[in-house]
Structure 1
Amino acid sequence: MTIKVTGKQQEVIDFIEQKISSANLKSGDKLDTEAGIAKHIGITRSTVREATRYLVEQGVIYRVKGSGLYVGSGLPVQSGNFHELSPFDHQAQQAGQSAVRRVVSSAIIQVPTVQIAHALRIKPNEQVYYLERLMSFGNMPVSFEQTHIPVAICHGFEFNQIEHSKYGYMERLTGKKVQMREQDISAFNLHDTELAEMLGVDTGQAMIELRELVSFEDGTPFEYTVATINSDLFNIHQVTKR
């Protein structure tokens, strides 16, 4: 059911749409907070909230709990080529930079949590390939990934093969097609000083934690990744299917 818009709410809608247009914002780009918009226009926050509800309904923006407002619908993205869906590569291009992936460490370990074991449909005592990657736009660190892949899924795994595309390598190694990637994000303040230094941010800075589960076309999950992301540089929330 479409929300009826008042004159004041239309003022907010026009402001947000003009901001998206004038700043050439793309899907996934972050907008100002509702409080910030209310202060800038001189309108109550409740009016801004009703206006943003309308824009969410229209698919112009979407809301992420604990993080804020973003451009786009936040709906699943359809594509004929799964490997073209990497938001990291796309946003690097938008920033005029190259997408750099660097393996920081790798090992074979016991799956670290029951949650990850459950998501990957393996037993809590099973082993996984574990790797840490630093993702950058050129020389600018953007995110830190911790990836878990069940050893039982693929023997002969070579860590150095995933400096680039994990999915392409997994398809070659297993003979299966990658079909779905499910992502959920939450906002938090980073208090790990070592990680803050690696990402080039201040301790206590607002960041995004992204948890991602990737599955083959037969529905078998094969990768669980936890990423710490600088929300000022990179924003994404999607479920993608081939």
Structure 2
Amino acid sequence: MMLDLDGIDRTDDRPPYRQIAAILRQQIKSGRLAAGEKLPSESALIEHFGVARMTVRQAVQELRGEGLVIPEHGKGVFVRSAPPVRRLASDRFARRHRDAGKSAFLAETEAAGQKPQVDRIRVTNEPAGADIARRLRLTEGDRIVVRSRRYLADGRPVEIATSFIPESIAKGTPIAATDTGPGGIYGRIEDAGHTLARFVEEVSARMPTPDERKALDLGAGTPVITLTRTAFDAEGTAVEVCDTVKAASAFVLEYDFPAR
């Protein structure tokens, strides 16, 4: 690859590896190094910048830690393809989507012009732990149906979700089966006579666990958004708690609410 990169500034207080990382980062952010493109080889970078091999490796490691590049064994280091940013607004829970047979994820993904997919679906019946029991206003140990799954957009994993539904609502319905049918979990909850009225969401951010990194195919140093949502029906009954772990680079959370 022909290099068209600035050199390092020996008067700069930053160590050379950070300067090299900054130069390559700018190339990636500007699109001059496009997604899927191979970075210059170690030897080319060493020759261009006039530094030791370890300095180049430290620079590349910094970019790996930010999730900007990914190594492929025997091939080199490539610019990582970033998933398109998808805005998550409250509209995704609108009843019209359920009436059209669309779950919230299906509605939001199609709105972003992407193809939705769900895999790794697992359904169990378990006793409620203390936190979930508190959120669902149950007694610890009461039976709940637990649904875990992974969501993909255009084939790329972007989210892991686990829903907790009281057994009294889910038992004998498709909620307790692998396929919940058109409209997803919320469609079936409303079919059971619980008209959804409001949602409460708690949002935070953290670094992923090793299992989450693997499931979401995240680069080292890439954070996740965690969102815990509780759904309430028109009577004020908590009918579902959903814990989600989202790839932070894939989402913007958008909230539209009145000033009153």
TM range, normalised to the smaller chain? 0.5 to 0.7
1:201 equivalent in structure 2: 218
With over 3 angstroms needed to count, the CA separation of the structure-2 counterparts of 1:97 and 1:204, relative to structure 1, is same
- Measured after TM superposition, the shift of residue 167 of structure 1 is 0.8
- Measured after TM superposition, the shift of residue 119 of structure 1 is 1.0
Pick the structure with greater CA Rg.
Answer: 2
1:81 equivalent in structure 2: 96
Letter aligned with residue 232 of structure 1: S
Out of 112, 137, 142, the position equivalent to 2:153 is 137
Letter aligned with residue 140 of structure 2: P
With over 3 angstroms needed to count, the CA separation of the structure-2 counterparts of 1:88 and 1:231, relative to structure 1, is farther
- Measured after TM superposition, the shift of residue 124 of structure 1 is 0.7
Q: Distance in 2 between matches of 1:237 and 1:156?
A: 36
User: Contact 1:105 / 1:133 at 8 angstroms: preserved in 2?
Assistant: yes
Please show how residues 204-215 of structure 1 align to structure 2 within 5 Å.
204-215=221-232
User: Contact 1:106 / 1:159 at 8 angstroms: preserved in 2?
Assistant: yes
2:135 equivalent in structure 1: 119
Out of 188, 207, 217, the position equivalent to 2:206 is 188
Farther-moved stretch of structure 1 (217-226 vs 155-164):
155-164
Out of 73, 76, 101, the position equivalent to 2:118 is 101
With over 3 angstroms needed to count, the CA separation of the structure-2 counterparts of 1:150 and 1:79, relative to structure 1, is closer
2:244 equivalent in structure 1: 227
- What is the CA deviation profile of residues 66-91 of structure 1, one whole-angstrom value per residue up to 9, with x for unaligned ones? xxxx999x996695636389663344
Please show how residues 1-242 of structure 1 align to structure 2 within 5 Å.
81=96, 83=98, 88-112=105-129, 114-157=130-173, 158-162=176-180, 165-172=184-191, 174-190=192-208, 192-236=209-253, 238=255
User: Contact 1:161 / 1:169 at 8 angstroms: preserved in 2?
Assistant: no
Q: Distance in 1 between matches of 2:163 and 2:148?
A: 6
User: Contact 1:182 / 1:238 at 8 angstroms: preserved in 2?
Assistant: no
Q: State the TM-score, normalized to the length of structure 2.
A: 0.55
Q: Could you list the runs of 5+ residues in structure 2 that have no partner in the other structure?
A: 1-84
Q: Tell me the secondary structure at the aligned position of residue 179 of structure 2.
A: helix
Letter aligned with residue 109 of structure 1: E
Q: State the TM-score, normalized to the length of structure 1.
A: 0.59
- Measured after TM superposition, the shift of residue 105 of structure 1 is 1.6
Letter aligned with residue 189 of structure 2: M
2:7 equivalent in structure 1: none
Q: Could you list the runs of 5+ residues in structure 1 that have no partner in the other structure?
A: 1-69
Letter aligned with residue 159 of structure 1: A
User: Contact 1:196 / 1:202 at 8 angstroms: preserved in 2?
Assistant: yes
2:54 equivalent in structure 1: none
- Measured after TM superposition, the shift of residue 163 of structure 1 is 6.5
With over 3 angstroms needed to count, the CA separation of the structure-2 counterparts of 1:111 and 1:204, relative to structure 1, is farther
Q: Tell me the secondary structure at the aligned position of residue 222 of structure 1.
A: strand
Q: Tell me the secondary structure at the aligned position of residue 122 of structure 1.
A: coil
Q: Distance in 1 between matches of 2:213 and 2:89?
A: 31
- Measured after TM superposition, the shift of residue 154 of structure 1 is 3.5
Q: Distance in 1 between matches of 2:140 and 2:234?
A: 24
